[in-house]
Amino acid sequence: MTETRLPVRRALLSVSDKTGLIELGRALAAHGAELLSTGGSARALREAGLTVKDVSEHTGFPEILDGRVKTLVPQVHGGILARRDLPAHVSQMEEHGIVPIDLVCVNLYPFAATVASGAGDEDCIENIDIGGPAMIRAAAKNFDHVTILTSPQQYGDFVQSLDAGGTYLSERRDYAGAAYAHTASYDGMISRWFAERAGELLPPVLTLSGSRDELLRYGENPHQKAAFYRDGSTRAGIATARQVQGKALSYNNLNDTDAAFEAVAEFDAPTVVIVKHANPCGVASAETLEQAWIAALRCDPVSAFGGIVAVNRTLDAETAQRISAIFTEVIVAPDADAQAIEILSRKKNLRLLLTGGMPDPEAEGLAFRSVAGGFLAQSRDAGRVLESDLKVVTKRAPTEKEMKDLLFAFRVAKHVKSNAVIYVRNNATVGIGAGQMSRVDSARIAARKSEDAANVAGETAPLTKGSVAASDAFFPFADGLESVVAAGAVAVIQPGGSIRDQEVIDAADAAGIAMVFTGMRHFRH
C-alpha cells in the first residue's frame, strides 16, 4: 500500500533552542502554513519578517502565572490530540471552535544547563518544563495526524518532506519515538536532580538516558553491534574529547582510552599511562612528559605496541615524537601544542583526542554493569589513599622514597584488573600482573614481564629488584607476599583485613621488608 503524505496547514513552534527556527518558519510559511508561537520563539520569527499568531490570541486565553500556563488549554491540546478520521472528534472540534494543529515543534526549557550553571533551587525548578512535554507527548501519541519535531537536527529532513508534499506516516512514527525518548531523558534528568538534592546516590527508581553520538563499526567483536552514547555529563573525558585526526574509533578503542585517561588523572606530576586491553602496561611520573613516556614504555615495551597512551599535560613535540616512533592506536590528552599535532599528523591512522581538561578522580558518580534481567550500579571508585591513612605493620617502616613509590603503586593498582600486583620503582611501574585468578600468579607474571623488559633494555638485573609492590586486595596467605619478596620488592602496600594477616606480617618481617596497610581495597572486575 502506497503511503500518502500529510501536509502542514497549521504549525505550533515553541522552542528553547532556536537553532534553525527561522529557516523552519520560512519553509512552513512558503507552503502556506499558519504559524502559532509563544514568547521568545514568536519574537524571533517576527523579527525575521514572518507572520506569527500568538498562542494566547489563538486560544483567547492569556498567559498566566508568570507564563507557567499558556498552552495547557483545550484549544491547543484539542487541536493536537483530535483524530481527524473520527466524526465524533471532528464534531466536537467544530462545536468548541477548535482547529487542527498539524505540526508541533517543541524543545524544552534548559533544565540541564541551568543545573550545570550552579543556579539555585528556585531557578532550577522554574526551568522544569510542563507545557512543553505535554504538547510533545500529545503530538507523539497522535502521530497518525500530527508531526512532532523535538530537535533542530530533524528540521532538514522534515523540510525535504514538506517540499515533497508532507510527511509519511512512517516518518511521523519515527519522530514520535524520538519525542518520547526526548521527554523520558528530560524527566530522568529532573528525577536525578531531586534524588541528588535528597542525598540519594542510589534512589528506588533509577532512570538512565543517553543520546547516541555515533554508531560504531561493531562491538568487542565483529558480530556484535555497538554505539557510543553521551549522558550529558560535563566531566572531562571521552565524551568531551575532540578527535583531531585518525580513523574512526572502535568500541574497544573507546573503552581502553577511557581506562587510560581515568588512570592518568590520578597523578599530579607529569604522567604517562599506556593501556592495552583496558589494563595499564606502563605508568610513570617524571619532571617532563617525555621522561615519563620513556619510563612508562620501559615497563613493558612489547605490550605497548598497538596500545593507548594517555597524558595529563598538554602534549608537547618531544613527547609526540617519542610516542609516534612506535605503533600507537590512540593518544588522549587534555590538549596538544601545534608542533605536536603536526608531528602526529604524519601518522594518518593514529587517533588524537583532546578532552579540554582532566577529570577529577575523586568526583562522585555512578558506574554500571549489565547483568541478566537488570544492571548493577555502584558509586565510582573515587577512593584515594594518603600517607596519613597508612598503618605500618612491620618492624621496619618504609623510607621516604619507598613511601612515595608505595602510594604511586597503589594508585596504579586501582586501575588494574583484579587480582592485581604492581611493582614500582622511582615513580614508574616496572612490572604489572593483572586479572589472574590467583594473586600469586599475578605477582609471578608481573615479575616475569619485568625480566622480559630488562632483557629488551639490555639489563642483567630484573627491574623489580629494589622495587616496592602493591596489591589491590589483601594477601590471603603468605605465599603471595613471598612471591613479591622473591621478585626483589623491599616494601609492600596492601589493604590488610585477612584472617591470616599476622602470618603475612611475620613473613614480611622474616624477609626484612616494610609493609603498610591501607584499610581500603581496589577490586576491579
Residues with a known catalytic role: 141, 277
Nearest partner of 439 among 471, 406, 467, judged by Cα: 471
Partners of residue 376 on adjacent β-strands: 369
Contact 488, 464 (CB under 8 A): yes
The grid coordinates listed for 111 are: 533544565
Contact 484, 446 (CB under 8 A): no
| CA distance linking residue 31 with residue 164, whole number of Å | 11
Q: Is 403 left (phi over 0), alpha (psi -120 to 50) or beta?
A: alpha
Partners of residue 525 on adjacent β-strands: none
Using CB atoms within 10 A of its CB, is residue 37 exposed (0-12), middle (13-18) or buried (19+)?
A: buried
Go through the chain and tell me how many residues it has.
Answer: 525
Q: Which helix (H) or strand (E) holds 428?
A: none
| CA distance linking residue 101 with residue 144, whole number of Å | 12
The amino acid sitting at 99 is V
Task: Determine how many CB atoms are found less than 10 A away from the CB of residue 243.
Answer: 14
| CA distance linking residue 206 with residue 187, whole number of Å | 11
Contact 109, 48 (CB under 8 A): no
The vertex-225 CA angle with 224 and 230, nearest 5°, equals 130
Nearest partner of 232 among 243, 240, 244, judged by Cα: 240
Alpha helices in 74-168 (DSSP H): 74-81, 87-96, 111-116, 121-126, 131-141, 155-163
β pairing state of 374-379 and 391-392: unpaired
| CA distance linking residue 240 with residue 257, whole number of Å | 13
| CA distance linking residue 451 with residue 299, whole number of Å | 10
